[in-house]
Chain A
Amino acid sequence: MIKKRIIPCLDVKDGVVVKGVQFKGLREIGDPVELAKRYNALGADELVFLDISATQTGNALMLDVIRKTARELFIPMTIGGGLKAISDISDVLNAGADKVSLNSAALRNPDLINETSEKFGAQCICIAIDAKWEEAEQDWFCYTHGGKQKTDIRTLDWVKEVEVRGAGELLVTSMDYDGMQQGFDHVLLSKIQDLVSIPVIASGGAGSAEDFVSLFLETNVSAGLAASIFHDEDVTIQSVKDLCDKKGVPVRHV
């Protein structure tokens, strides 16, 4: 039986791991390679690095982080943040990433999904979506630039489009729930997983081991992602998996 994946996300700025709370107020928390190794030993099923550097120097440092991590870590690694051109994607895959996550660039230029999926294979194209509920429109909309800019694109339309264009996986962050540590957005995530047949990684809102268990019991998503709670060791991956065991959610043990 396929296991539900627990994925820590490391936001990397200029080669150092940081994490924003609701995308604001960044704080430094450590060396990405060391953190990656620690998470591997602790039972992470996969790692996501989001490069939030805004400079070329920062991006070059990221490639270095990927190379160093890939030499010592043998679980899947997804890289996102600031990837715009096929050459950027090629660079991170060659450095040792297994998947790339595309967000703003895909919204701006949807053909990029088709091109990269054809060139590198659907299995390494993860489309990241920052979704926020719009009360006036009674619908979710996609945001770009780390959640700073609203687009006119409705999230539920976009997920269907990216699947057709060749995405292999979705990473959906609920901006309404992100940083609140009150649990995942089951309504949004269930709607999305019902609309697509590719796997969905849920992100935004995890505050406890129970939140992961409810996510997996109440939705069909394939994976749950979190950052701060794991970095701060408020919640350990092991405690999440132990509770999953108890509640009958299949997970992998190292």
Chain B
Amino acid sequence: MIAIVDYGLGNIANLTNALNYLGYTVNVTNNIDELEAADQIILPGVGHFKDAMARLDDLDLVPELIRLKETKPFIGICLGMQLLFESSEEGDVKGLDFLPGVVKKMTCQLPVPHLGWNKLNADLPSLDEDVYFIHSYKVHTEENVVATAEYEDKVVAIVQKDNIIGIQFHPEKSGDKGLQILNQALKGGFNQ
């Protein structure tokens, strides 16, 4: 069973639809016992970084997530990935700090948000796909990077450190290829 952390942000309906389609059982919850009982944890999210951290704080979930990430596969998607890092310019607040790196506003000549289908650059052939991005902030890190995309500059698209995975794009909205990538993340990820 996969637990999707319910903290009031994120298009959880579509992530649930995608996981059900892939055959997984899903529990959307912020109950600590239920999170504890799950095999894997997904932290979703769209919206503001500061708002997201405040909601996690209000639900007393931050220490729980820190504990859960020690023992379970833990996947952050979109804003959920950004929350895994040290801090963000969006609201100028600290993140969960599971991974080294910071989140900054995208600055480029091309339109922001970075919205649409963009190709992943990765060593793994299974990641050589177009996927759907929609975000205005991006992660700056040199470590644990599995895949990037080009949008004037480099955009970190997938990170993995052991059991912790971050996915910047929306695998649940990236067609059949996106579902395959989501499934691969749930089956242990991208580090050979």
Q: Which residues of A pack against B, CB within 8 Å?
A: 1-5, 40, 45, 70-72, 74-76, 93-96, 98, 120-124, 168-169, 196-200, 222-223, 252-254
Complex: chain A residue closest to B114, CB-CB: A2
Which residues of B, 102-146, contact A by the 8 Å Cβ criterion? Answer: 110-119, 130, 132, 134-136
Can you name 5 extra interface pairs (CB under 8 A) apart from A120-B47, A199-B115, A199-B116? Answer: A1-B150, A40-B175, A74-B175, A121-B48, A123-B113
> 3 closest Cβ contacts across the A-B interface?
A121-B47, A252-B130, A3-B117
Question: Are B117 and A198 in contact, with the CB atoms below 8 A?
Answer: no
Picked from B46, B118, B176, the residue with its CB within 8 Å of the CB of A2 is B118
Question: Is chain B's interface secondary structure helix, strand, loop, or mixed overall?
Answer: mixed
Q: Are B173 and A95 in contact (CB under 8 A)?
A: no
Query: Is the C-beta of B6 less than 8 angstroms from some C-beta in chain A?
Result: no
B150 touches A95 (CB 8 A): no
B129 to A: closest C-beta gap in Å = 9
B82 at the interface (CB under 8 A from A): no
CA distance A254 to B174 in the complex (A): 10
B-side contacts of A5, CB under 8 Å: 116-117
Shortest Cβ distance from residue B144 to the other chain A in the assembled complex, whole angstroms = 24
**A2, A168, A253: residue with the most chain B Cβ atoms closer than 10 Å:** A2
* Contact status A98-B117, CB under 8 Å: no
B11's contact among A75, A93, A169, by CB below 8 Å, is which?
A93
Cα–Cα distance between A75 and B46 once the two chains are bound (Å): 17
Chain A CB within 8 A of B166 CB: no
**In the docked arrangement, what's the CA distance between A179 and B134, Å?**
30
Contacts of A4 in B (CB 8 A): 116
Give which listed residue, A121, A196, A222, contacts B115 with CB less than 8 A: A222
Could you give 22 example pairs across A and B, Cβ below 8 Å?
A2-B110, A2-B118, A5-B117, A70-B14, A72-B21, A74-B173, A74-B174, A74-B176, A76-B134, A93-B11, A94-B13, A96-B11, A98-B173, A120-B46, A121-B48, A122-B136, A123-B46, A123-B115, A123-B135, A168-B134, A199-B113, A252-B117
Query: Which one of A40, A70, A121, A196 has the highest number of Cβ atoms from chain B below 10 Å of its Cβ?
Result: A121
Q: Does residue B24 face the partner (Cβ distance < 8 Å to A)? A: no
B165: interface (CB < 8 Å): no
Contacts of A252 in B (CB 8 A): 117, 130
Contact of B179 among A1, A45, A74, A95 (CB under 8 A): A74
Which residues of chain A have C-beta atoms less than 8 A from B117's C-beta?
2-3, 5, 45, 252
What residues of B have a CB within 8 angstroms of the CB of A222 in the complex? Answer: 111, 115-116
CB A208 to nearest CB in B, in angstroms, measures: 23
Contact A70 B17 (CB under 8 A): yes
| Chain A residues within 8 Å of B18, by CB | 74
